Chains A and B, each alone.
Chain A
Amino acid sequence: MEQDQRMADGWKRWLLLAGAAVWLGLPWLVFGNNYVLSTLILIGLYALVGTGMTLLMGYAGQISLGQAAFYGIGAYASAYLTAHAGWPAWLALAAGAVLAALVALVVGIPVFRLREHYLALATLGFGVIMFTFFKEWKGITGGLNGFFGIPPIRIAGVPLQSDLPFYYLVSLFVLAGVWFARNIVRSRVGRALRAIHGSEVAANSLGVNITKYKLQIFMLSAVYASIAGSLYAHYVTFINPDLFGIVPSIYFLIMVVIGGAGSVWGGLIGAAVYVCLGEWLKAVVPLLLPDAGGEFEIVFFGLLLVIMLIYMPNGLTGVALKGWRRFWKTGWRRQVDSHKARSIGGERG
């Protein structure tokens, strides 16, 4: 009986280990192919944004259609502070995160009085406003011409200019981000968020300060996006406002829906599927439809979003989790029993 559970746990551990090995070994598997590496880095950056969004959407049950704005805040803060103000990249990254959190706080106070569609619209509006800022505040952002010459990030004085070390840096951030999110989910805060999702009146009557938690988690998701934006700026060294407008915000949302907001891994899985599909489309569509422009992408992902919402509302991680639970159904029961035994034993012993 106990064995089943131990086996399930063992499997989980092996899966994680195997995942880590693949992750570490990937660059060698592709022989340092820069195209693949840069794709992986992009996946990592989007995954970071997505992980923050799973907390906001999947756990707290709130929506943001303006997440790219925070990605932009991080990117421009890093770009400006390192290139023009001469700050070290790490300090600029931290400053960008603080700024993003503050903006999220100021925006969140009025916006989280709204719910559902209205909240979605308000965050969309926020995204539009921030895009306009990025576009028009030329003294800082360089406007539509873009911001050139962002210095690379340095570790112990060594600039990270090639893809390989950057891949590992981004991976570290993604891992830390998922770890942090997972810890939050399994805590008092995570329970409070899920309670808010389940029933706001009930959560409130049990002492959960709803406004506070919504704001905190919105700020946290902004920090995730901002850090990803900072890393992105240092990676590509050139940014322009189009990367932080409404369409990228929608793509972030699509990633989280594909990956599934109900798991902290949803951001990573969604980002991987989104980026890979996008690259595949870029390769395939011109062969099939030589005249197709760049718009096919949004048509494709728009359709995918609709299909996902109808057939897989919990995303890929939702499906995987369901399968996993069914597979270890007996093991699941055992966990119940062994856990029960543990907690009773702990209490009385």
Chain B
Amino acid sequence: MSAMLLEVERLSKSFGGVQAVQDVSFGVAKGEMVAVIGPNGAGKTTLFNMISGVIPPTGGSVRFQGGVINGKKPHELAMLGMTRTFQNLQLFSDMTVLENVMVGFHTRLTGGIFSAGFRLPLARREEKQAQEQAFSCLEQIGLAHLAWERAGTLPYGTQRLVEIARAAVSRPSLILLDEPMAGLNPQESKQLVDVLLAMREQGFTFLFVEHDMETVMAIADRIVVLDYGKKIAEGAPEEIARHPDVIKAYLGEEAV
């Protein structure tokens, strides 16, 4: 287990008397694509928010690249190499697609207010670098022709791709995707699946929450199933599809 990129150990969260997540443990190895699934209210989002530093856990720990990251803020996690996308898109809609992706390169640059304001060589060099990296990232995802469009004017599916490019441009060691397929039409979903698979080929590691079973079964290496805040199963897609507890959780007692 020590070779794991991300290790979640007995992670718990209670809101007042409600135990939203209880003793959940699992790991993500480098290069893996791990999905977290579960019925509505199973605690997926809470789990996700704890891993990404949005809310603090009430118990347990999260280790990332060997170090404990409990209580770290999202921007600190980004500096360590963990970025995320959002279920309800969070693009900077007044900025161009290229600028959006350039913000994703923030952690790789160092220029501050003085080097920027006086336009020191550092700032110029970094600006060029950010632009080139962002552009080549868009090229790989097939969005280069939209680089100068305002992000807010693009179709939903394209915006999601931009969001993924933005999260990936800094080459983070782990990308968290919060329901990447939500709101996409079948064609857009297929395009996104292709992009994600291509990115995995390039060595990206993903942890994602998803409702769309077809996608999960098609692209996940491993699936973690939550129900009522607890992990009820973990394994390869074909194991999960046959797992009695999973079927019970999704279809109810009678189906078994």
Residues from chain B with a CB closer than 8 A to the CB of A181 are 117
Check B26 for interface membership: any CB of A closer than 8 A: no
Residues from chain A with a CB closer than 8 A to the CB of B73 are 204
Q: 12 more A-B contacts (CB under 8 A) besides A188-B123, A191-B99, A198-B95?
A: A180-B117, A180-B118, A183-B117, A188-B116, A195-B95, A201-B86, A202-B90, A205-B52, A205-B78, A207-B75, A207-B78, A207-B107
Complex CA–CA separation, A197 to B113 (angstroms): 17
Residues from chain B with a CB closer than 8 A to the CB of A205 are 52, 74-75, 77-78, 83-84, 86, 90, 167
- Do A195 and B103 touch (CB < 8 A)? yes
Check B127 for interface membership: any CB of A closer than 8 A: yes
Complex CA–CA separation, A340 to B86 (angstroms): 29
Check B252 for interface membership: any CB of A closer than 8 A: no
Complex CA–CA separation, A204 to B93 (angstroms): 16
- Do B111 and A198 touch (CB < 8 A)? no
Check A100 for interface membership: any CB of B closer than 8 A: no
- The B112-152 residues at the A interface (CB cut-off 8 A) are 112-113, 115-119, 123, 126-128, 130-132, 135-136, 139, 144, 147-148
> In the complex, what's the smallest C-beta–C-beta distance from A203 to chain B, in angstroms?
7
- Do B92 and A199 touch (CB < 8 A)? yes
Check B94 for interface membership: any CB of A closer than 8 A: yes
Residues from chain A with a CB closer than 8 A to the CB of B86 are 201-202, 205
| Chief secondary structure at chain B's binding surface | helix
A interface residue count range (under 10 / 10 to 19 / 20 to 34 / 35 or more) = 35 or more
Residues of B within 8 A of A (CB-CB), count:
48
Contact of B116 among A183, A197, A206, A340 (CB under 8 A): A183
- Smallest Cβ-Cβ distance to A199: which chain B residue: B90
- Smallest Cβ-Cβ distance to B99: which chain A residue: A191
- Do B90 and A340 touch (CB < 8 A)? no
- Do A206 and B104 touch (CB < 8 A)? yes
- Do A343 and B90 touch (CB < 8 A)? no
Check A308 for interface membership: any CB of B closer than 8 A: no
Interface centre among A188, A199, A203, by most chain B C-beta atoms within 10 angstroms, is A188
Q: Taking A183-B119, A207-B170 as contacts, is the C-beta distance between A188 and B92 under 8 angstroms?
A: no
Check A220 for interface membership: any CB of B closer than 8 A: yes
